[in-house]
Amino acid sequence: MIAQLVELAGRRADGGADALWRRFERTAIAFEWGRLKSAGTTEEAGANVRVRYRGRVGVAGTTATDAALELVDRARASAELGEELDLVFPAQVPLAPLTTFFDRAANASLDDLIGIGRSLLTRLERDGCRVNIAIERETTATSVANSAGAAGQYRSTGFGVSADVWRIAGDDVLVVSDAYEGADLPSDEALTALVASINARLDHALRVVAPPEGALPVVFTPAGLSALMLPVTQALSGKAVLQGISPLGAKVGQEVFDQRFSLSDDPLRVGRTSSRPIDDECVPSRVTCLVERGVVQRFIYDLETAARAKTESTGSGQRGIFGKPVPAYTNIVLNHVGAQHAAPLHLGGGLLGDIRDGLLVDELIGVGQGNVTGGAFSHPVALAYRIEGGEIAGRVKDAAVAGNAYELWKRVGGFGNDARWTGSRWAPSVLFEGVSVARR
Amino acid sequence: MIDRLTAALARSRADYTEIRVERTWSTAVTFRGRRLESATASEDQGGFVRALHAGGGWGVASFTSLDRLEAMVARADELSRAVPLDPAIRLADVPPHRADARLDLDGDVRGVPIAEKKRLLEAYNGAMLGVSDRIVDTLAVYRDEVSEYWYVNSQGTILHVLRPDVTLSGTAVARRDGTIEKGLESIGMRRGWNSVQDKAAGFRAVAERAVQLLDAPMVKGGTYPVILDPELAGVFIHEAFGHLSEADFVYENPQAREMMTLGRRFGKPVLNVGDNGAAPGLRGTLPFDDEGTPTRDTALITEGILVGRLHSRETAAALGERPTGNARAISFRHPPIVRMTNTYIAADPRGGSFEDLIRDVKLGVYACGAFGGQTMLENFSFTAAYGRMIRDGQVAELVKDVVLAGSLFQTLDRIDHIAADFRWNQMGGGCGKAGQFPLPVTEGAPHVRIEEALVGGDVGAP
């Protein structure tokens, strides 16, 4: 399919073409409020083609995969409206070997999925609570190719387990959730960790205490860290730099973050669902170091943003069936100096001991709203705990935290020993001093 | 197509089977600043089968290749048999319907060249850029689609509907030194090309406001009487209350059901709330939902008392209530789940005008438009697009960073005055739930006064 599509597009467009073809099948089950309610299957295939025609670039996508000629003509019509762009399709380069397909995940049966669900349910059910669990496995075949002769194809697997426990008491609604996401079947340890994570946070949440107030030490869990990571990852995208809205746009080579803070995008991590040997524009995958010991190193680019910025793609092109490729992260990895792992893991990653009065934040409301790139944030808490005398005192409601991500990242109070994957981000808990905490 | 679908149904071994097939043609044009970012046309097609075997859970299958239709019908039945369920799923009765409904395409977008769509958007984008050289960036998006839709179920319902949708959005970014402000315009219609003409004024207005906000002070955090404009009041009732009225939240959760007991007082007698999937000409409007149930107007709160909720056939049967036509799916990729359509706070015919709402307000905040909002069940946080102080019964200075946060139950109960000036907000975007986004919905409300609400421009600095 892909070879013919590129060949056809190459003939009908004078400036070359590239294409992506993807097919996946997925099996999913859902336990709703403690009962196995549904089982489903999905089969989907589609193609996305991009052409350069008379110096202009256009794209088109379809799930009607038998209509190649029509697809190419739509891409050409799209190009006729587009701006001129000196887009160069890359030549073939050897790919790094990377395992993306795991037989155990690919061959997991419906009964295997149900078995995992029932075992989790048994371990999560408790009086006064209701449990939702969703489990899915999928296999994907991806092919990319371009008219410069580059091509790549790979098969991959994905496995996801998510659970949330609901407790409604009067008008108090408490939801505690966690998820496993990986390319392989979860190990028993991974499932045990998921249960322990939910139960620990639920146990501490049963007691509601008054929130503290003032400029306080606040520990953000790996999940709670989103509000502080989002401005940074947005600012490190070449697209934001091109638009002139990135506060880091002119800071390459400068120390902007705490010296213990390093950040990279790693598409070659074995076992992650975002990992792949080649990006969706035929650029081989490689690790991109974004921040090294506090110093900004580089930004992520796809082919188009790289062409506009007169630089090279970092292999960060991501495209769906519809729409054009965009620069996107794969696995964001926060590395910090002195990384140590403690087992068993404790909520707070060992950072709570010296806190006389403070907050542990696991989830905030409204992350991503407002002017994220500027770094300022202000969010009510969805799930947070008061820390008193080095211990978790109980859950706080009606509190809000605020600050500026860039100011806070300049001086980190400490990194936890509990680094883990949250979706496609690897990070530990992080302690910041002097975060504004307000009562509502 | 109908013959093919009914033939596939006839071969199903399940006790209940339904099939949806959709074919969607869409175009999208995006400008960023003066630059055309993309202009694309897409075609999407696929099907969805859902089967129920007595004593089993739902078996579902979705697919993009129609050649797989018969295999997928068989697979859905197998999946239902594979998940035994006791007590079994029951579906509330809905009489079979046959309909061939062609919604008003109002200028079929499929007949308009994409170059013309680009020109239209370029003009609206230009209207924002032309306001001032303080407008440093814009984002303008035009999107349209026509979806041909077939639905059949084993109880005799056969539907064929042509569904249009067209949306426009504009973001204007104003900047002076380190200060950045934005304005948002959003238009959405379940109509066609004719309905998005002559809209430049709205785009210009949001760009002008973004420039004005550069000089506006941040609202001083605190507790105020707050008047919501119809747009923000609509977003508020959808986000903060509407989702709790979706019966899939309560039907198998006794604690949730207790919280949402019909007859519970939620507000003062002035408060009336409903959801109307049959209101003519709105984005949330369709003749039938995705289970073949006719849509209708459902009262949720009447004179402050919780009186109803939104149902699928399954939740209605479980709670012994009537299906309301609220089972919706964003596409063939997803099962129908309980969703809102056009959700509204009803006007108080004796409520008078906006001026009547602010007449006796000594110091208050008039919160307008919505940049965003999120609810975590009983807690919500909304960011207004802008605000104006109210001083001694008069609208006063422009203020920015108006964030409303609070508890749903307390806030609904503090709504003490609702005006008579109801309007639907015909906006783009859509609602998200359970991975299904964006679902076209509409919200409507008059001006609404909350006697006391927490406004945080800067909730941080204590």
Q: What is the CATH number of the domain that holds A131?
A: 3.30.2290.10
C-beta atoms of A32 and B252 within 8 A: yes
Residues B165 and B283 in one domain: no
Residues B275 and B346 in one domain: yes
Please state, in angstroms and as integers, the Cα–Cα distance from residue B456 to each residue in A174, A278, B225, B358, B412, following that order. 24, 46, 13, 20, 18
| pLDDT value of residue B145 | 95
Block residue for tokens 């075949």:
A141
B241 lies within 8 A of chain A by CB: no
| Domain range for B99 | 2-213
C-beta atoms of A41 and B60 within 8 A: yes
Residues A223 and A343 in one domain: yes
Residues A340 and A408 in one domain: yes
Of A32, A41, A82, the CB nearest to B75: A41
| pLDDT value of residue A234 | 95
Q: How many Cα atoms sit within 13 Å of B458 on the Cβ side?
A: 11
CB B310 within 8 A of CB B338: yes
CA distance B349 to chain A (A): 32
B80: enclosing H helix or E strand = helix B69-82
Q: What angle do CA A158, A163, A167 make, to 5 degrees?
A: 165
C-beta atoms of B64 and A44 within 8 A: yes
Residues of chain B positioned with their CB less than 8 A from the CB of A170:
259
C-beta atoms of A402 and B64 within 8 A: no
| pLDDT value of residue B256 | 86
Residues B201 and B298 in one domain: no
Please state, in angstroms and as integers, the Cα–Cα distance from residue A72 to each residue in A33, B312, B354, following that order. 47, 41, 54
Residues A223 and A187 in one domain: no
**CATH of residue B153:** 3.30.2290.10
Residues B382 and B233 in one domain: yes
Nearest chain B residue to A167 by CA distance is: B255
| pLDDT value of residue B380 | 83
Residues B117 and B236 in one domain: no
DSSP helix/strand/coil, B450: strand
Residues A7 and A59 in one domain: yes
C-beta atoms of B376 and A365 within 8 A: yes
| pLDDT value of residue A339 | 57
DSSP assignment letter at A374: G
Residues A97 and A239 in one domain: no
Residues B229 and B167 in one domain: no
Residue B296 lies in a domain: yes
C-beta atoms of B255 and A81 within 8 A: no
CA of residue A42 relative to chain centroid, distance: 23
| pLDDT value of residue A344 | 60
C-beta atoms of B115 and A83 within 8 A: no
Residue B134 lies in a domain: yes
CB B428 within 8 A of CB B188: yes
Total of domains in chain B: 2
Residues A174 and A259 in one domain: no
pLDDT averaged over 10-residue windows placed end to end, chain B, 462 residues: 96 97 96 92 95 95 96 97 92 96 88 95 98 94 96 98 95 87 93 95 97 92 94 93 92 87 96 97 94 98 98 97 97 97 97 96 96 78 92 96 87 96 91 89 97 72 36
d(CA B313, CA B294): 11
| Of B365, B55, B59, the residue nearest B229 (C-alpha) | B365
Q: Calculate Rg over the CA atoms of chain B.
A: 24
Decide if pLDDT at A396 tops 60.
yes
Question: What does pTM read for this prediction?
Answer: 0.92
Domain boundary pick from B181, B213, B245? B213
Percent of chain A topping pLDDT 90 = 85
Residue B37 lies in a domain: yes
d(CA B17, CA A336): 54
Q: Structure tokens of B227?
A: 């008047």
| Domain range for A355 | 207-440
Per the prediction, chain A carries an average pLDDT of 94
C-beta atoms of B115 and A80 within 8 A: yes
C-beta atoms of A37 and B85 within 8 A: yes
Residues of chain A positioned with their CB less than 8 A from the CB of B32:
243
Q: Calculate Rg over the CA atoms of chain A.
A: 24
| Of A360, A405, A432, A399, the residue nearest A213 (C-alpha) | A399
* DSSP-derived pairing of the beta strands A35-53 and B58-63: parallel
Residue with the bigger pLDDT between A439 and A73: it is A73
DSSP assignment letter at B156: S
C-beta atoms of B253 and A67 within 8 A: no
Domain boundary pick from B194, B213, B232? B213
| N-terminal to C-terminal alpha carbon distance within chain A | 58
Residues B28 and B65 in one domain: yes
d(CA B358, CA B390): 7
Residue B137 lies in a domain: yes
Residue B170 lies in a domain: yes
| pLDDT value of residue A338 | 66
Residues B242 and B183 in one domain: no
Please state, in angstroms and as integers, the Cα–Cα distance from residue A355 to each residue in A210, A220, A429, A440, B235, following that order. 17, 13, 14, 23, 40
B459 lies within 8 A of chain A by CB: yes
A197: enclosing H helix or E strand = helix A188-205
Residues B327 and B416 in one domain: yes
A347: left (phi over 0), alpha (psi -120 to 50) or beta: beta
Total of domains in chain A: 2
d(CA A159, CA B15): 31
Q: Structure tokens of B349?
A: 């015919």
- Of the residues B58, B77, B78, B83, the best mutation for testing chain A's interface (the one with the most A CB atoms within 10 Å of its CB) is B83
Helix/strand/coil (H/E/C) assignment for every residue in B229-291:
CHHHHHHHHHHHHHHHHEHHHCCCCHHHHHHCCCCCECCCCCCCEEEECCCCCCCCCCCECCC
Residue B461 lies in a domain: no
Residues B245 and B110 in one domain: no
Burial grade of A439 (CB within 10 A; 0-12, 13-18, 19 or more)? middle
Residue B7 lies in a domain: yes
Block residue for tokens 């996401």:
A181
| pLDDT value of residue B456 | 74
B379 lies within 8 A of chain A by CB: yes
Residues B152 and B247 in one domain: no
| pLDDT value of residue B3 | 95
| pLDDT value of residue A342 | 62
Nearest chain A residue to B244 by CA distance is: A173
| pLDDT value of residue B179 | 81
B458 lies within 8 A of chain A by CB: yes
Domain boundary pick from A150, A177, A204? A204
Decide if pLDDT at A204 tops 80.
yes
Residues B206 and B321 in one domain: no
Residue with the bigger pLDDT between A115 and A345: it is A115
Q: Which residue pairs from B31-37 have beta carbons closer than 8 angstroms and sit at least 24 positions apart in sequence?
A: B31/B121, B31/B122, B31/B125, B31/B138, B31/B139, B31/B140, B31/B141, B32/A243, B32/B137, B32/B138, B32/B139, B33/A243, B33/B129, B33/B137, B33/B138, B34/B125, B34/B129, B35/A83, B36/A81, B36/A82, B36/A83, B36/B118, B36/B122
Residue with the bigger pLDDT between A220 and A336: it is A220
| pLDDT value of residue A346 | 83
Residue B462 lies in a domain: no
Residues A305 and A347 in one domain: yes
CB A363 within 8 A of CB A400: no
Residues A122 and A32 in one domain: yes
Contacts of B420 (CB under 8 A, 6+ apart): B347, B348, B349, B350, B351, B352, B353, B446
Residues A257 and A359 in one domain: yes
Residues A176 and A219 in one domain: no
Of B36, B44, B381, the CB nearest to A82: B36
